[in-house]
């Protein structure tokens, strides 16, 4: 793997939402190929320190950064801190997000919708806005957003508002990619399907999980580690330098657009 992603060695990578789940696996993946990794967290400092420790114990470079990205201005401040710490930022992985809770649309309220959009879409847009001046000054840059299969299929029961926010992530990815391509900045996304993470462990009941797995041709949920390769691929200019505005679906065949 290290030979395949050799151009990522030494790159400065910020992974938001990196204390657990897909973000933690992605952070470890970048650390494993020699990148310098900023491990962002909000509510799980011990988990974030564990991820950073795993990277440094394996000979890599990592540190933790705290921010409540649902708060206006927090994403921009996070970007500035990472650049101040490392001197630059090469790859931004916008992974922070959450389902918050499962509520059917007719029983939900606008407060929940605002919370979902603030965390899953607004914070991501703010981070993209904040990083562009740094990327333009450097003459290059890479943004990888985490969308979801829900952006295409409307989500599982009780997640319509989350799906709408993730649909915005996919659309913003494509629109921004068009605007900044001439600046040598690539913008892509990874859309995981049903992945075994703490999110599902706490918010998805056994019956709902079984129903979702029943729609997957591979007959099982995925793991966070099985998502990592897509992020590394999209970050590597040698492997994906002519790819922008794309959403890579990682879902075991559940969705074949």
Give DSSP secondary structure letters for 142-173: EEEEE--THHHH--STT-HHHHHHHHHHHHHH
pLDDT in the model for residue 257 = 80
Among 157, 44, 169, 171, smallest CA distance to 117 is for: 169
pLDDT digits (tens, 9 = 90+) for 190-232: 999 999 987 777 777 888 889 889 999 999 999 999 999 999 9
Confidence of residue 1 (pLDDT cuts 50, 70, 90): very low
Decide if pLDDT at 2 tops 50: no
pTM of the model: 0.94
Q: What is the pLDDT of residue 214?
A: 92
- Name the catalytic one among 41, 162, 231, 242: 162
User: Is 231 designated active site?
Assistant: no
User: pLDDT tens digits for 164-201?
Assistant: 999 999 999 999 999 999 999 999 999 999 999 877 77
Domains belonging to the chain, first-starting first, are 6-247 (3.40.50.720)
| pLDDT in the model for residue 3 | 54
Per-residue pLDDT reduced to its tens digit, 91-105? 999 999 988 888 998
């Amino acid at each position: 793997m290290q030979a395949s992603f050799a151009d990522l060695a030494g790159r400065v990578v910020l992974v938001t939402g990196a204390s657990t789940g897909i973000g933690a696996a992605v952070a470890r993946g970048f650390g494993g190929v020699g990148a310098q990794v900023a491990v962002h967290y909000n509510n799980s400092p011990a988990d974030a320190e564990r991820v950073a420790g795993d990277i440094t114990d394996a000979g890599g470079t990592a540190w933790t950064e705290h921010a409540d990205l649902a708060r206006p201005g927090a994403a921009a401040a996070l970007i500035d801190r990472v650049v101040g710490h490392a001197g630059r930022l090469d790859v931004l992985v916008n992974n922070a997000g959450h389902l918050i809770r499962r509520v059917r649309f007719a029983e939900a309220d606008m407060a929940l919708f605002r919370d979902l959009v603030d965390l899953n879409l607004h914070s991501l847009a703010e981070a993209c806005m904040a990083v562009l001046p740094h990327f333009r000054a450097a003459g290059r840059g890479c943004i990888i957003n985490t969308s979801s299969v829900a952006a295409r299929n409307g989500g599982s029961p009780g997640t319509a508002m989350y799906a709408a926010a993730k649909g915005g992530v996919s659309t913003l990815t494509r629109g921004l990619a068009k605007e900044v391509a001439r600046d040598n900045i690539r913008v892509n996304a990874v859309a995981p399907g049903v992945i075994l993470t703490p999110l599902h462990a706490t918010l998805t009941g056994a019956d709902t999980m079984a129903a979702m797995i029943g729609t997957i041709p591979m007959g099982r949920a995925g793991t966070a580690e099985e998502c990592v390769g897509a992020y590394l691929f999209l970050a590597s200019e040698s492997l994906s330098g002519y790819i922008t505005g794309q959403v890579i679906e990682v879902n075991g065949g559940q969705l074949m657009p």
